Amino acid sequence: MPEPWTPDSWKTKDVSQQVTYPDPAVLAQVQAEIARLPPLVTSWEVEALRERLARAAAGEAFLLQGGDCAESFDDCAPDTIATNFKILLQMSLLLVHGTRTPVIRVGRIAGQYAKPRSSATEERDGVTLPSYRGDIVNRSPFTAQARTPDPTLLLRGYERSALTLNFVRALADGGFADLHHPENWDLSFAKDSPHHDEYRRIAESIKDAIAFMEAVTGTQSLPLRRVDLYTSHEALSLEYEQAQTRQVPRRTGWYDLATHMPWIGMRTADPAGAHVEYCRGIRNPIGVKVGPGMSDEQLTAVMERIDPEREPGRLTLIHRLGADRVEAELPRLIEAVRRNGRTVLWCADPMHGNTETTASGIKTRRFDRILSELQQAFDVHAGLGSHLGGVHFELTGENVTECIGGAGGIEEGDLHLHYRSKVDPRLNYQQALEMALLITRRLRRTSAGRAE
Ligand code: PEP
Ligand code: CO
């Protein structure tokens, strides 16, 4: 018999990255208030995503997951939300073109507010304070007051998520996402990219395909006027997730209705720990980050715990091994899953294993290494008869200078120009689109290979 699960049974386990709130009574009040408010997503959306992910695991769809490393309350603004949505949409169209399969768009959005930290405290000039853990936990200025965990931020985070999602849903449903006008999309990519012509050709060919289909059917295709965008975030603050965990009429089980697809971060993927305990009891599709330190036994134990029924679409393994280690580490992980007799959705996160700090102390990532990890990941999966069915990026639609390289030629000395991330460096608009284009080329080659 499996142990009984409740939305708060995680509290009986070891909680890594735990936040200590100074006043538990205020925390309980805030959680009760969040629980009374409407859900952010619905159970049928969660079920639909899970079915689509099952198709991706079977090679019939492709997952594109991306967005900010950490959303910030200040960036809950129309331009930021719209540009982040736009870049995901444009990347997804390139990928549709390359894979000839449906692309499932999942944003790191509307709740990506809690961050795991390697150290619980930060020291500056002899002063030690709690680390910044994301806007939903505390604030980033280096003062004792800002760094003290504040439970009312959970409520602020829930509200910001609702505002973000409200706008995203409207954008997804209206003229903004209308595929009849792909020419609207290449604004800033247009001028200076060497890939511009290729991108424009693809946009033109999408437009032609739509026109052709509509001419044949004699109708304007309504589904092309809207797109889906699902939400995801790291299920790190279990106080937050628990408060939105519900049962719904006419369905069995519990749903985390704070997001469609929560994931378990690398630092909290202990099979006996609180985060795995929480996620095992909810019906949502679950992502698990898999880093180079994950042993085969640990991976197998996590899979058994989260997906004992082996339901297609339930589990997405997001490997983030680093360009230097992916070739050595990935095969054993693929074999471990195979030995366990499972089909999972494999997704590559080429960002988190490739973070470095420059001599002047700026956290960055190199475009070439990100691309290299991805290419190696595609090769390793293909070589073992496995299937890489998704990619996971930290990116923004804005023209930041956080990662080095790409056709725009951002150099180390440029990083300070528009560095905005409070945590990890993100691909900017041009770098993200270029990355999608290069993956697309690669996928076209693979599918041509398969067809031969
Ligand atoms: C993240 O995705 O922002 C993150 C912290 O990843 P990981 O858990 O893989 O380090
Ligand atoms: Co990150």
Q: Which of 302, 317, 320 gets mutated to test ligand 1 (max ligand atoms within 8 A of its CB)? A: 320
Direct distance between the N- and C-terminal alpha carbons of the chain, in angstroms, rounded to an integer: 49
Q: Is 97 exposed, middle or buried (CB count within 10 Å of its CB: 0-12, 13-18, 19+)?
A: buried
Of the listed ligands, the closest to the CA of 266 is 1
With 50 as the cut, is the pLDDT of residue 451 above it? no
Please report which confidence band the pLDDT of residue 68 belongs to, taking 50, 70 and 90 as the band edges: very high
Neighbours of ion ligand 2 (CB under 5 A): 69, 424
With 60 as the cut, is the pLDDT of residue 188 above it? no
pTM of the model: 0.95
The pLDDT of residue 183 is 58
Out of 8-22, 407-421, 434-448, least confident range: 434-448
Query: 302 with 276: CB under 8 angstroms?
Result: yes
- The contacts of residue 383 (CB under 8 Å, 6+ apart) are none
pLDDT tens digits, one per residue of 399-431 = 999 999 998 889 999 999 999 998 899 999 999
Index of the ligand 1 atom closest to the CA of residue 115: 5
Index of the ligand 1 atom closest to the CA of residue 392: 2
- Measuring from atom 1 of ligand 1, which residue has the nearest CA? 69
Selection from 281, 252, 305 nearest residue 7 by Cα: 281
The pLDDT of residue 361 is 94
With 60 as the cut, is the pLDDT of residue 39 above it? yes
Whether the CB of 352 sits within 6 Å of ligand 1:
yes
Whether the CB of 294 sits within 6 Å of ligand 1:
no
pLDDT tens digits, one per residue of 308-362 = 999 999 999 999 999 999 999 999 999 999 999 999 999 999 999 999 999 999 9
Ligand 1 centroid–CA 119 distance in Å is 14
The pLDDT of residue 448 is 55
Of the listed ligands, the closest to the CA of 262 is 1
Ligand 1 centroid–CA 194 distance in Å is 31
Residues in the chain: 452
Give the CATH class of 9-451: alpha beta
Q: In the chain, what are the domain boundaries? A: 9-451
Of the listed ligands, the closest to the CA of 318 is 1
pLDDT tens digits, one per residue of 82-141 = 999 989 998 998 898 888 889 999 999 999 999 999 999 999 999 999 999 999 999 999
What span, in angstroms and rounded, lies between the C-alpha atoms of 205 and 210? 9
Whether the CB of 320 sits within 6 Å of ligand 1:
yes
Give residue 420's Cα distance to chain centre.
19
Query: 357 with 401: CB under 8 angstroms?
Result: no
CA torsion angle for 326, 352, 369, 96 (degrees, to 10)? 90
